[in-house]
Amino acid sequence: MNNNRSGQGQNQNRNKNPNNTQGQGVRPPNPNRHRRPPRRSDNNRFLQNRQRNPQAPQNAQGSGSAFDKLFRRYEYLQEQHCIARRKHFENYYKAEGSQRDRAEKNFYSTLEQLRDYVSTLSAEQKEAFEKKYNGYPSDTDYSRGHGLPEQAERVKFADKFEDPHLLKSQTEVDFSSDTEESVGTIEDYNKYKGLA
């Protein structure tokens, strides 16, 4: 027993000896071992985007118009919805059960959030929103090229409409006096047509 203890003591002394060429020795303590990894937040994302795009404004909160926060929020919701849509449709036939249900639920909830956000805007905000996101001019190249009015015709939805596929010859013919019953088999038809 004494031999084992003395052997253990020698091994311990050997590990503590920095001049020992046989073993690695004791490693110095890592100064970062208790440090937490940095959290990912919107601020980190802004800094990463800033590194990618150096022309971006330095002060994201204070720059631009009063509607910048509104536009940023909408674009964030739109980005979240695009990610949820991609996950839902890419994994629809791959995933099963609760994983597919979770992706579908996330897809519809992000869509609902996006629609709710637009519907809760004030009149002034909606005007600025429409100007930014739906402010493209109408495509009227075809109308101008063919001499057509740029505004489309008003379509009536509650009225008696003419059938565009009904021919004039069909409306002029009167079959009320026709009392002959159509009877026979396909063989009779083929004999009549000379196909049999």
Residue 84 has pLDDT above 60, yes or no: yes
**pLDDT score recorded for residue 61:** 46
Mean pLDDT (whole number) for 145-155: 85
pTM of the entire structure?
Answer: 0.41
User: Across the chain, how many H-helices and E-strands are there?
Assistant: 8, 0
Q: Where are the domains of the chain?
A: 63-132
The structure tokens 């629809």 sit at: 92
Residue 109 has pLDDT above 90, yes or no: yes
Distance CA 6, CA 106 (A): 65
Interval 127-136: pLDDT, tens: 989 888 887 7
